[in-house]
Structure 1
Amino acid sequence: MDHHHTTTDVLISGAGIAGPALAHWLRRHGFTPTVVERAPGPRPGGQAVDLRGAGRTVIERMGLMERARALCVEQHGLALVDRRGRTTARIPVDLFGGEGIVSEIEILRGDLADLLREATDGVEYLWDDTVTALDEDAAGVTVTFENAPARRFALVVGADGLHSAVRRLAFPGDGSHYRPLGGYHAWFTVHDPALARALDGWFQMYNAPGGLVAAARPGRLPGEVKASLGVRCAPLPYDRRDTAAQQRLLADRFAGAGWESDRLLAGMRTAEDFAFDSFGQIHLDRYSRGRIALLGDAGYSPSPLTGLGTSLALVGAYLLAGELAAAAGDFRTAFTRYEELMRPYVARAQELPPGGLNGYAPGSALTIRLRAASMRWMGRWPLRPLMAAQFAKAGDIAKAGDIALPDYPLPDHPLPVRSA
């Protein structure tokens, strides 16, 4: 075991959005981050994620906005369709100032992760590995990995998603932290030029009775379609790593459901980036314990229903790194301040849109028609101001936490992490 380490060493578990963003800011503040990721390499594809409000501000402060805009997925907005593909409601992308259901700046998750990772030049990445044990003492944390030799770090940050290994190890009672919302969803890429043309630049969504949702939106590349399938139901027993079983579950539910469901199922079976998970949120009393902290979905997942997971990840990374620098490495002060700043923002971001999962996946033909009617009224009084307030939460961090994003000066030299 290598016990030699500097007091600026920080291990980050997770190379999605939150992890590389934190690594970028830590490195700029003089720390030495290392990122460990279970996947064997960068994950391509993924669905479009939003750059909204305060999250957009963080990207601007990273100097990445011009490149992010160049990678944007062009979409006209959201269109609800019936089983025959006829449009029943539309919400143009500019209806709520670019902050509506479809954001003005939408970028594929894989493209954003690549962009953030490129901004961490010089940071060490440990691919195809994960944390299996954490042994904290007064001077640091000894981390045991599944594959690599154990190493010492001053701090450990779990940015490893809804099913965080770091949270499971460092925060007892993991099961009680997860709050299921009553459904499951899958997302994957379909290469189908004819379907891509039929979308005509719109994010099309189809609801079928029984709480089924099939959706498709244009990808960034010609002929590419980003597909998703969602279902509202009671908890189901499934193996998170058994892709074949997950696809059988979806095939059983969506076969013959209408619209392009069968076509999406066919594309699902050959997709290289198929992913499946439950709808749920993470609620914790604290975001840190000792020298270990949580970031993004690992600490406060809002669920995809809110559209604010990316904003939380980017804002959290900026604040965590900045507070560690502002506290001159005093991690206890920094972690406390990080939580004080984030918690009000998280609380607002975790508020589900009207109807919650029922609004996303109505159960009956009647509620599906009523949902379409309500969406047609979103641009009119009295619904428009109510929906505008909902969408404004992403950028309304000032009201959420009575703060604005602080400006953290960048140091000329590394800041050591103090011993406990």
Structure 2
Amino acid sequence: MTGKVNPTVLISGAGIAGTTLAYWLARHGFRPTIVERAAGLRSSGNPVDVRGPAVAVAERMGVMPRLRQAGTQVAAMSFVNGRGRQVGRVNMRALRQAAGSQEVEVTRTDLATILYEASEDSAEILFGDTMTALRQDGDGVDVAFGKAAPRRFDLVIGADGLHSATRRLAFGPESRFVRHMGLYVATMPLDGPAGNETDVVLHNAPGRMVALHPVHGRALAAFIFRHPAVQDFNQSDLAQHKRILADAYAGDAWRVPELLNQVRAADDLWFDSVSQVRIGSWANGRVALLGDAASSVSLFGDGSTLAMAGAYTLAEELAATPDDPHSAFARYERRHRILVDPRQGNVATAAALMVPATRAGVIARNLATRLWPAAAAASWLRKRITPSRRLTPVTA
């Protein structure tokens, strides 16, 4: 790629990481192309946080006002028992203010849409297609697609999530890198309001949590539960997902029976394992990984923040040495692992807080929410994302 003007980059995945990367690569003089398996934008409605380094990235992209307008406006988390009586509450708005946080919570759908609209003029986008083969040499990567004609690119970036096709093609089978963390998660939009328009309401039984999250006058139901890996798990089998969920929550109290009835009738249920990606290096020649494809992380919504921050860092490093992508990939990985590695160790802590395994654990967690000093909580909040290296000015 020595001396080449406007190097070409294929990005697999039109999600949060992929669209953010396309935006910044275009501004650094690269020519990005995005290939997306779905026929259009797709994303779960899960609420996610844009915090820490991602706030700076969003501000530089000019999308922070839109994100704040799309924010869920959640003020607190309320914990209820089987009869619906509140047994604990955490004032999240006060904690954010105490910590001086500029973070915003939005649905993943809103975040993906806003980032896509900011970047759609920056890249060629191939919807409804996917890579089927990669063959690289010292000068570029030959890519075969399911539908489009084969093409050659200078670089390929896999931003295609936990079940990354790029990682499978360039690094090896998923079973080598993806580790089940003992939990599954499901989310489902409900037809009506949540009932409480300011609080996320959570109910726990040992090893299980169900939550109702208010989102712009509607409700999102979320289920997180402890379960060993399902050996014949099929990511596309909705009927299987419904059976697993119904079996896991059978006999639970509060509004769980009502919600399970809605699960049985649902055609919009997102369901997957809580898993981590552990891979020795995020780059193989001219192919590199970004976001969950490289390092799926935690239960606290850090994935979106890390995807945006990682995309900015990767674009910055490629722009610094466009003739030496191997060094750029190494610097990107070295910088970004400072953020990612601590988060990958937090799944057990997150699970203990959100999905206590025993009845005694549920009681202790609920009690802690009433005794938790605000100052300690604010300190914890600040540490959820390790301070990042200062973002450097963006050059056109």
TM bin, normalised by shorter chain, reads over 0.9
Whole-Å separation in 1 of the counterparts to 2:370 and 2:230: 34
Which is worse superposed, 362-371 or 169-178?
169-178
Which amino acid is 1:391 matched to? L
Whole-Å separation in 2 of the counterparts to 1:372 and 1:336: 44
Work out whether residues 217 and 225 of structure 1, in 8 Å CA contact, stay in contact via their aligned partners in 2.
yes
Structure-1-length-normalised TM-score: 0.87
Matched, 1:169 2:169: yes
Which amino acid is 2:185 matched to? H
Which amino acid is 2:212 matched to? A
Residue in 1 that maps onto 2:211:
215
Work out whether residues 55 and 103 of structure 2, in 8 Å CA contact, stay in contact via their aligned partners in 1.
no
Work out whether residues 46 and 273 of structure 1, in 8 Å CA contact, stay in contact via their aligned partners in 2.
no
User: In the superposition, relative to structure 1, how do residues 286 and 310 fare at CA in structure 2: closer, same or farther (>3 Å)?
Assistant: same
Whole-Å separation in 2 of the counterparts to 1:245 and 1:25: 40
Which is worse superposed, 120-129 or 177-186?
120-129
Report the CA distance between 1:396 and its aligned residue: 3.4
Matched, 1:362 2:356: yes
Report the CA distance between 1:115 and its aligned residue: 0.4
Q: Which runs of 4+ in 1 moved over 6 A?
A: none
Which amino acid is 1:190 matched to? L
Which is worse superposed, 5-14 or 35-44?
5-14
Alignment of 1:94-173 (within 5 A): 94-97=93-96, 104-122=103-121, 123-172=123-172
Whole-Å separation in 2 of the counterparts to 1:135 and 1:256: 52
Structure-2-length-normalised TM-score: 0.92
Alignment of 1:6-155 (within 5 A): 8-43=7-42, 46-97=45-96, 104-122=103-121, 123-155=123-155
Matched, 1:404 2:390: yes
Matched positions, count:
390
Residue in 2 that maps onto 1:244:
239
Whole-Å separation in 2 of the counterparts to 1:113 and 1:121: 12
Residue in 2 that maps onto 1:185:
185
Alignment of 1:215-234 (within 5 A): 215-220=211-216, 222=217, 224-234=218-228
Report the CA distance between 1:252 and its aligned residue: 1.9
Work out whether residues 98 and 104 of structure 1, in 8 Å CA contact, stay in contact via their aligned partners in 2.
no
Report the CA distance between 1:354 and its aligned residue: 6.4
Report the CA distance between 1:7 and its aligned residue: 5.6
What secondary structure does 2:119 align onto? coil
What secondary structure does 2:79 align onto? strand
User: In the superposition, relative to structure 1, how do residues 6 and 137 fare at CA in structure 2: closer, same or farther (>3 Å)?
Assistant: farther
Residue in 2 that maps onto 1:418:
none
Which amino acid is 1:396 matched to? T
Work out whether residues 297 and 347 of structure 2, in 8 Å CA contact, stay in contact via their aligned partners in 1.
no
Deviations 1:327-353 (A, max 9, x none): 134211211111121111111222316
Work out whether residues 39 and 128 of structure 2, in 8 Å CA contact, stay in contact via their aligned partners in 1.
yes
CA RMSD between the two structures: 2.2
Residue in 2 that maps onto 1:267:
262
Whole-Å separation in 2 of the counterparts to 1:62 and 1:364: 45
Deviations 1:88-115 (A, max 9, x none): 1111122332599x99511111111110
Whole-Å separation in 1 of the counterparts to 2:348 and 2:279: 24
Runs of 5+ consecutive residues of structure 2 not aligned to the other structure:
none
Matched, 1:393 2:383: yes
Runs of 5+ consecutive residues of structure 1 not aligned to the other structure:
411-420
Work out whether residues 297 and 309 of structure 1, in 8 Å CA contact, stay in contact via their aligned partners in 2.
yes
Which is worse superposed, 127-136 or 253-262?
253-262
Which amino acid is 1:11 matched to? L
Residue in 1 that maps onto 2:203:
206
What secondary structure does 1:230 align onto? strand
Alignment of 1:290-309 (within 5 A): 290-303=285-298, 305-309=299-303
Work out whether residues 189 and 227 of structure 1, in 8 Å CA contact, stay in contact via their aligned partners in 2.
yes
Work out whether residues 6 and 29 of structure 2, in 8 Å CA contact, stay in contact via their aligned partners in 1.
no
Work out whether residues 83 and 254 of structure 2, in 8 Å CA contact, stay in contact via their aligned partners in 1.
yes
Deviations 1:233-289 (A, max 9, x none): 211132111011101111122233111112222333444532111111112221111
What secondary structure does 2:190 align onto? strand
Task: Find 2:331's aligned residue among 334, 337, 348.
Answer: 337
Work out whether residues 17 and 116 of structure 1, in 8 Å CA contact, stay in contact via their aligned partners in 2.
yes
Deviations 1:126-179 (A, max 9, x none): 112211211001221011112222111110000011111111111136423222
